[in-house]
């Protein structure tokens, strides 16, 4: 799938000027609140008519202000999962799911109702009313409703933002399966580093209505200056991994990465499962010598790739760990004390308990082949 | 009941019910359309339409009746046209009573529906659009079910107003027993003749009974619908 967007839009004092191209399975529109993410997806979905520009999805021109083209939303075949589910209160779950199908011509209906219901785990909810569902259940029904309209593209506007951590953890696997098993490309709006790290295959970074970067999530995440200040603590890198084995006596799972192995809290995954692991810069320590008598289980040999600019008291150091890029956030004082400079060999240390479930996600197929 | 009410009284009761039901049914679709236009429309003359619809609410009913007589009477411009082209006559017929009642009740119907339209979450309509529903289907499958409580409330107000309408009806179509004599005009007539207290009392009782039944039915329907439409 390809998505080409080049639009300009004024809304009161806010101006959006966005141009990007994406061909990933899951494109994340990333940026802080008020950066124009929702305005952008609304323009793609047809809920907003941009002042100038064009939007082309899979070669189909949906908006071209110069040619006076504006395809109305009901003819775009673009599914939209909203932040607040927006289920129809007067219909039960089954009829909410079938709503799009009522208006889809028979020739376009390819999705299998039972398969979608299974994928999202909502079979037991079909006769319920939306009012009786939990937040996570509502979002799953909303995703199913959009899928059953057989869209050519699925937009998701912060579908997890209104959910607590437990509910998010409940939805993550479904979005991953959708990305990996479905054949519908997804555009996901998010302001959470954890979400884009875990889910995206390409990232468009927005700030104050402008696109400031596009690229692969691994590349974007290590450019810590792109991250919104409130999320800087979440900055880090993505590393591809594979489950090597489990140590049930200690409740640990061993993962293989390029530079060696990582011990993380026990995962319910088969040996050989490809994973992506997010390593937060603030969880990585540096040591000049291979440490002994240390509680941390993960010690990786690394070479200093570059020393970043100072931000307050801390500095981000990029490391080359057998081909994977890691970022360590250390104090300026430590940099001077250890005399860290590019090309230097040292050890990166990561505590096993620093990993939580949100940082370990399954790999999209096109990326896992490279492991 | 026929034994308890005299044939003439019975006729007035049946005629009143017929006039009110017809007035309510006939104004329902125009009422929804006008409410939609006033709540959502962005067109020139919206303010004027608003004033026009609400005029019967604030004008003396006799004035409304007299204007109806001028326009819809046998020699009135609209009345003459309708009589000649479609053979529809309003003047001094029960149909005229229904017309007068629906004009008088129209603002109440429109207000109730308009309020419920303004309360509809338009984001739900957007969601329906992204699912492939064109605007007409969005209206029929989303908006209409969501405003059903307002429509029911409007219909009850309309029916109640029609049952009690007096001034415009008596001015436009007079007070002809068996043709245009509705409950209120019948009660009025009884109070004008010696020994009419019994009839007036009986019809008053019937009036109250009909109002109570209408209210109970509407409450029951509204509760049933509201349970289905509760905001998510």
> Does the pLDDT value for residue A164 go beyond 80?
no
The predicted-structure confidence for A335-359, as pLDDT tens digits, reads as follows 888 888 888 888 888 877 777 766 6
Chain A interface with B: residues with Cβ < 8 Å: 45-47, 72-80, 82, 84-90, 99-100, 102-104, 129-131, 138, 145-146, 149
The predicted-structure confidence for A261-287, as pLDDT tens digits, reads as follows 888 888 888 888 888 888 888 888 888
Q: Cα–Cα distance between A300 and B146 in angstroms, integer?
A: 61
Average pLDDT for residues A158-185, to the nearest whole number?
82
Contact A54, A61 (CB under 8 A): yes
For the sheet with A52-57, list strands across it: A69-70, A60-64, A52-57, A3-11, A14-22, A210-215, A202-207, A26-30, A186-190, A153-157, A78-81
Average pLDDT for residues A184-201, to the nearest whole number?
86
Listed in sequence order, the residues at least 6 apart from A230 whose beta carbon sits closer than 8 Å to its beta carbon are A32
Listed in sequence order, the residues at least 6 apart from A215 whose beta carbon sits closer than 8 Å to its beta carbon are A202, A203
Q: Is A82 in Cβ contact with B131 (below 8 Å)?
A: no
Q: Is A77 in Cβ contact with B129 (below 8 Å)?
A: no
Where is mean pLDDT largest: A244-248, A293-297, B63-67, B74-78?
A: B63-67
- Using a pLDDT cut of 70, give the percent of chain A over it: 94
Average pLDDT for residues B101-125, to the nearest whole number?
94
Q: What is the mean pLDDT of chain A?
A: 85
> Does the pLDDT value for residue B116 go beyond 90?
yes
Angle of CA points A309, A19, A198, to nearest 5°: 60
- By Cβ distance, the residue of A45, A90, A104 closest to B229 is A90
- Mean pLDDT is lowest, of A117-121, A268-272, A304-308, for A304-308
Listed in sequence order, the residues at least 6 apart from A123 whose beta carbon sits closer than 8 Å to its beta carbon are A117
pLDDT of residue B40: 93
First to last CA, chain A: 24
Q: Cα–Cα distance between A237 and A263 in angstroms, integer?
A: 17
- Pairing assessment for the beta strands A153-157 and A78-81 based on DSSP bridges: parallel
Q: Does the CB of B129 have a partner CB in chain A at under 8 Å?
A: yes
The answer to whether the complex's ipTM is over 0.85 is no
**Residues in B touching A131 (Cβ below 8 Å):** 230-232
Tokens standing for A10? 């004024």
pLDDT band at B231 (very low <50, low <70, confident <90, very high): very low
The neighbouring-strand residues paired with B62 are none
pLDDT of residue A228: 58
> Does the pLDDT value for residue B141 go beyond 90?
yes
* Burial tier of A71 (Cβ tally within 10 Å: 0-12, 13-18, 19+): middle
Report the gap between the CA of A93 and the closest CA in chain B (Å).
12
Average pLDDT for residues A221-225, to the nearest whole number?
68
DSSP state of B197: H
pLDDT of residue A333: 85
Q: How far is CA A278 from CA A72, A157, A321, A352, B53, in A?
A: 40, 23, 14, 12, 64
pLDDT of residue A248: 86
- Mean pLDDT is lowest, of A141-155, A171-185, B138-152, B189-203, for A171-185
Candidates A250, A255, A272; CA nearest to A324 is: A255
Candidates A45, A49, A46, A52; CA nearest to A17 is: A52
Contact A357, A292 (CB under 8 A): no
Q: Cα–Cα distance between A96 and A139 in angstroms, integer?
A: 12
pLDDT of residue A65: 93
Q: Cα–Cα distance between B96 and B72 in angstroms, integer?
A: 9
pLDDT of residue A2: 85
Scanning every residue of chain A, which has its alpha carbon at the shortest distance from the alpha carbon of B227? A90
Q: Cα–Cα distance between A188 and A186 in angstroms, integer?
A: 6
The neighbouring-strand residues paired with A247 are A252
pLDDT of residue B3: 63
Average pLDDT for residues B62-67, to the nearest whole number?
94
The predicted-structure confidence for A35-69, as pLDDT tens digits, reads as follows 889 999 999 999 999 999 999 998 899 999 999 99
Q: Does the CB of B120 have a partner CB in chain A at under 8 Å?
A: no
Q: Is B228 in Cβ contact with A88 (below 8 Å)?
A: no
pLDDT of residue A12: 85
Q: Is B133 in Cβ contact with A74 (below 8 Å)?
A: yes
pLDDT band at B232 (very low <50, low <70, confident <90, very high): very low
- Pairing assessment for the beta strands A3-11 and A153-157 based on DSSP bridges: unpaired
Contact B56, B66 (CB under 8 A): no
* Burial tier of B178 (Cβ tally within 10 Å: 0-12, 13-18, 19+): exposed
The predicted-structure confidence for A76-117, as pLDDT tens digits, reads as follows 999 999 988 899 999 999 999 999 999 888 888 888 899 889
Q: Cα–Cα distance between A172 and A335 in angstroms, integer?
A: 37
Report the gap between the CA of B218 and the closest CA in chain A (Å).
19
Q: Cα–Cα distance between B25 and B19 in angstroms, integer?
A: 10
**Residues in A touching B124 (Cβ below 8 Å):** 86, 88-89
**Residues in A touching B137 (Cβ below 8 Å):** 102-103
Report the gap between the CA of A44 and the closest CA in chain B (Å).
11
Q: What is the pTM of this model?
A: 0.77
The neighbouring-strand residues paired with A54 are A6, A64
């Amino acid at each position: 799938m390809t998505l080409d967007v080049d639009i300009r839009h004024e809304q009161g004092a806010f101006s959006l000027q966005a141009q990007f191209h994406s061909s990933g399975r899951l494109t994340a529109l990333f940026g802080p609140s008020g950066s124009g993410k929702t305005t952008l997806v609304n323009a793609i979905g047809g809920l907003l008519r941009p002042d100038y520009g064009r939007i082309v999805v899979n070669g189909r021109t949906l908006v071209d202000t110069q040619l006076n083209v504006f395809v109305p939303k009901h003819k775009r075949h673009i599914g939209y999962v909203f932040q607040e589910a927006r289920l129809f209160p007067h219909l039960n779950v089954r009829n909410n799911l079938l709503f799009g199908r009522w208006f889809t011509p028979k020739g376009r209906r390819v999705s299998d109702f039972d398969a979608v219901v299974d994928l999202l785990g909502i079979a037991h909810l079909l006769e319920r009313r939306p009012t009786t569902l939990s937040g996570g259940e509502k979002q799953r029904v909303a995703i199913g409703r959009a899928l059953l309209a057989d869209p050519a593209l699925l937009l998701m506007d912060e579908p997890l933002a209104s959910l607590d951590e437990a509910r998010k953890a409940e939805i993550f696997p479904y979005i991953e399966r959708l990305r990996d098993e479905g054949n519908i490309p997804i555009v996901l709006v998010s302001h959470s580093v954890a979400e884009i790290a875990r889910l995206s295959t390409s990232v468009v970074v927005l700030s104050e209505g402008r696109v400031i970067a596009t690229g692969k999530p691994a590349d974007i995440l290590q450019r810590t200056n792109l991250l919104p200040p409130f999320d800087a603590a979440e900055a880090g890198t993505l590393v591809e991994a594979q489950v090597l084995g489990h140590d049930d006596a200690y409740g640990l799972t061993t993962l293989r990465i390029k530079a060696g192995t990582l011990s993380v809290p026990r995962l319910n995954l088969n040996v050989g499962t490809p994973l992506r692991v997010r390593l937060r810069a603030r969880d990585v320590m540096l040591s000049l010598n291979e440490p002994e008598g240390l509680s941390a289980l993960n010690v990786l040999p690394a070479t200093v790739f570059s020393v970043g600019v100072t931000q307050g008291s801390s500095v981000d150091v990029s490391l080359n760990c057998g081909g994977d890029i890691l970022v360590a956030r250390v104090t300026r004082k430590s940099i001077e004390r250890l005399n860290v400079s590019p090309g230097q060999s040292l050890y990166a240390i990561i505590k096993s308990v620093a990993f939580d479930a949100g940082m370990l996600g399954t790999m999209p197929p096109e990326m896992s082949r490279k492991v | 009941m026929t034994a308890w009410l005299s044939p003439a009284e019975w006729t007035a009761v049946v005629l009143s019910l017929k006039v009110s039901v017809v007035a309510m049914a006939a104004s329902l679709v125009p009422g929804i359309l006008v409410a939609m236009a006033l709540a959502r429309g962005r067109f020139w003359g919206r303010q004027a339409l608003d004033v026009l619809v609400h005029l019967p609410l604030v004008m003396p009913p006799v004035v409304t009746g007299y204007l109806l007589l001028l326009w819809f009477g046998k020699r009135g411009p609209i009345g003459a046209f309708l009589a000649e082209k479609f053979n529809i006559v309003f003047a001094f017929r029960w149909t005229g009573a229904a017309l007068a009642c629906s004009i008088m009740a129209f603002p109440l119907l429109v207000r109730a529906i308009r309020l419920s339209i303004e309360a509809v979450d338009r984001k739900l309509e957007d969601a329906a659009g992204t699912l492939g529903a064109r605007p007409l289907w969005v209206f029929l499958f989303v908006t209409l079910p969501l405003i059903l409580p307002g429509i029911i409330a409007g219909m009850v107000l309309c029916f109640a107003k029609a049952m009690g309408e007096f001034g415009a009806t008596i001015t436009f179509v007079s007070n002809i027993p068996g043709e245009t004599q509705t409950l209120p005009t019948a009660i009025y007539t009884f109070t004008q003749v010696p020994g009419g207290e019994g009839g007036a009392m009986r019809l008053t009782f019937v009036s109250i009974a009909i109002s109570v039944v209408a209210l109970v039915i509407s409450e029951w329907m509204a509760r049933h619908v509201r349970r289905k439409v509760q905001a998510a």
